[in-house]
Chains A and B, each alone.
Chain A
């Protein structure tokens, strides 16, 4: 206020308040800056992670804090065929969906990497399945898989005449499983394709020119240039994809809710069913915790099997 009333030609430098001086101390500033993020993550991520592992060893139900029961939950689960079925389907679902997503996603990325008109427009609409809420597109798939009014059945029966009867997509075990995997692949392709496209665009064209001069075929160019150069980004995208496919919940919950006869339960949907509507929080937590070894394995696998590059060190990529 003083500075403005004085008739100086320039504004006086204001004395900084104590708060400003304290915050200009580097150590204080670092703590102040990190506090919100680290605090939020500690309270709502690290602590629940520990709490979840603890709950898995108790018999907690909704409305009653439980007692420590040791491995009882796990012993019960290991004799439960529904649990083993969920383990099997989670692995099966992840494997098949990952192969499909990455095969088709890489193909789409290679197509989009060529010169063509409307490229950015195409890229924009291809990302749509990934932007729209998964549950809502899952409901659309549910309708597409309807036993009576499925549009796919209509095409096969009435338009093409290849079949006599409607396809019962979700009525029995295996068709339901493959229908879910197809929906998951549909949803996953855009993410894989767009990330891999970004990786493809960083490959220098001079490498291809050199290979062309050496007479490399298009398969050789893909095998010895595109694929190795793409590996680092492929490793990251695959780690993410495997983790989030294995722990998928929305798609299965929206389309089949684990049915018919529990055949399409993933570990996450089984944990939810037992934990929240079923009220057996301890058992649900045990199912959720049993996902952790698979996730660690999947992460290590994709990290060490696919990644041998310097970006692993975190610093100085490019």
Chain B
């Protein structure tokens, strides 16, 4: 062994470099390639003219020789796509506002107002997150009909908080925990009311947590599918994910160009949003799991 170690450094260097290539970079490149390929394929398809789309023989399918906007034009001017985008946007903003409001107050009460049984309320809200929408959509559909909200996007604004509130509450409990309690005590001594403390001290300090919860709720509402599919019937009230699947898939011949253009444009808003707030996403994802 001592022999080998004296001669080692020179060979070790090259050896470890090659090893790092095989052990780290190669698998990582495969992962990135596979994880991103569907998006690349979506983009390429969205800008390909039909002639190229269905002829792999004379065109390289991985590239576009004559890009076209015909699919996007068709989507924007011959379907109700702008309407769907608007509905999705309004529903997401409404549901996010509602859940952010109620979960901020709930998290503040559970974490800061400390009452007997507060941790059980916290646990119950956490358990609510484990109830999947697939179990709830049938009874909720009957409720929505009874409330006269069937086919109305307003029903979605009311229903989405069922999965947003538990998530946001847990995220914000974790955030409030990290704010020193002494700050609130000082304010109490200075004669501030509890609501003033919440508004002037706790909330401003919890802004990063609120942003995390907000963008996360927005994304989750944007991506929601099963409730929107079950509660909305008329074409103009549909959200983007539902509309693309139910309105653009017509007959036996699929318009792949238009379908991919629709998917791309439905993904872009969240993707752009995401690119601005990457760190918040990562921290809220890991924060919520850790809590």
- B101 with A36: CB separation less than 8 A: yes
- How distant is the Cα of A1 from the Cα of B278 in the complex, in angstroms? 46
- How distant is the Cα of A133 from the Cα of B228 in the complex, in angstroms? 13
User: Which of the listed residues B119, B125, B134, B241 has the most CB atoms from chain A within 10 Å of its own CB?
Assistant: B134
- Taking CB atoms, residues of chain A closer than 8 Å to B230 are 272, 276
A125 with B103: in contact, given A37-B169, A191-B285 (CB under 8 Å)? no
Interchain nearest-CB distance for A235 vs B (Å): 11
- A37 with B165: CB separation less than 8 A: yes
B12 interface residue, CB < 8 Å from A?
no
A268 interface residue, CB < 8 Å from B?
yes
- B225 with A133: CB separation less than 8 A: yes
Per-residue CB proximity of A131-156 to B under 8 Å, as 1/0?
11111110111011010110100100
Which of B211-269 touch A at CB < 8 Å? Answer: 219, 222-223, 225-226, 229-230, 240-242, 244-245, 256, 259-260, 262-263, 266-267
Indicate which residue in A32, A40, A288 contacts B162 across the interface (CB closer than 8 Å). Answer: A40
- A133 with B102: CB separation less than 8 A: no
Per-residue CB proximity of A169-189 to B under 8 Å, as 1/0?
000000000000000001001
Which of A273-318 touch B at CB < 8 Å? Answer: 275-276, 281, 284-285, 288-289, 291-292, 295, 299, 314-315, 317
Given A34-B109, A194-B282, 14 more A-B residue pairs with CB atoms under 8 Å apart are A23-B195, A41-B161, A48-B136, A49-B131, A133-B266, A133-B267, A135-B245, A139-B259, A143-B42, A189-B35, A191-B285, A243-B132, A248-B134, A250-B241
User: Which of the listed residues A33, A127, A275 has the most CB atoms from chain B within 10 Å of its own CB?
Assistant: A33
Interchain nearest-CB distance for B225 vs A (Å): 5
13 contacts between A and B (CB under 8 A): A16-B193, A44-B158, A48-B140, A49-B135, A52-B139, A126-B31, A135-B245, A143-B45, A190-B35, A197-B286, A244-B132, A315-B119, A317-B290
B105 interface residue, CB < 8 Å from A?
yes
A29 with B113: in contact, given A134-B225, A158-B56 (CB under 8 Å)? yes
